[in-house]
């Protein structure tokens, strides 16, 4: 298996918001990431749950972790960038959040498109659960590998 312990520290350094928000990298492997956001009263909304921006930020960061772990070897020739996202807030979250992000296509398939000269797009699906282990949010972020010039 590919060594990915560098992903969390790298994201904390290169994306200061990740560190400022207190996001924890529980597990990162090619194809899957589990990130956690501790409960913080200063980050809550008007109904007492984590603000939607925090939920989105946690989920999007989880998709970035999967992308880095899955495509680290291509960084010299292509830059990963988010293209679009869709999010569904299903219920008010309570307490700490956990985001599980999963690559929706095989990395091999995505890399084959890049090798063929295309600018591949791939989705990363996320489920966010709260402190009561309830599914609260589902989202998909579509990423691309933009060839470096």
List the CATH number of the domain containing 35: 3.10.129.10
pTM above 0.75, yes or no: yes
Is residue 34 included in any domain, yes or no? yes
Is residue 113 included in any domain, yes or no? yes
CA-based Rg of the chain, rounded to a whole angstrom? Answer: 15
Domain hosting 34: range is 7-147
Question: What total number of domains does the chain contain?
Answer: 1
Is residue 52 included in any domain, yes or no? yes
User: Contact at 8 Å (CB) between 30 and 4?
Assistant: yes
pLDDT average, residue stretch 55-65: 98
The pLDDT value given to residue 2: 67
How many helices and strands, by DSSP H and E, does the chain display? 4, 6
Is residue 2 included in any domain, yes or no? no
pLDDT digits (tens, 9 = 90+) for 115-145: 999 999 999 999 999 999 999 999 999 999 9
Confidence grade of residue 19 (pLDDT, cut at 50, 70, 90): very high
Is residue 91 included in any domain, yes or no? yes
The pLDDT value given to residue 132: 94
């Amino acid at each position: 298996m590919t060594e990915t312990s560098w992903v969390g520290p790298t994201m904390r350094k290169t994306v200061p918001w990740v560190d400022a928000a207190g996001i924890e990298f529980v597990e990162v492997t090619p194809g899957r990431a589990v990130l956690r956001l501790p409960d913080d009263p200063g980050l809550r909304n008007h109904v007492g749950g984590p603000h939607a921006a925090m939920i989105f930020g946690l989920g999007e960061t989880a998709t970035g972790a999967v992308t880095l772990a899955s495509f680290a070897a291509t960084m010299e020739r292509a830059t990963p960038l988010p293209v679009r996202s869709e999010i569904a807030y299903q219920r008010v979250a309570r307490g700490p959040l956990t985001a599980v992000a999963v690559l929706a296509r095989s990395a091999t398939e995505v890399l084959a498109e890049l090798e063929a000269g295309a600018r591949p797009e791939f989705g990363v699906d996320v489920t966010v659960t709260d402190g009561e282990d309830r599914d609260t949010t589902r989202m998909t972020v579509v990423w691309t590998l933009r060839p470096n010039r």
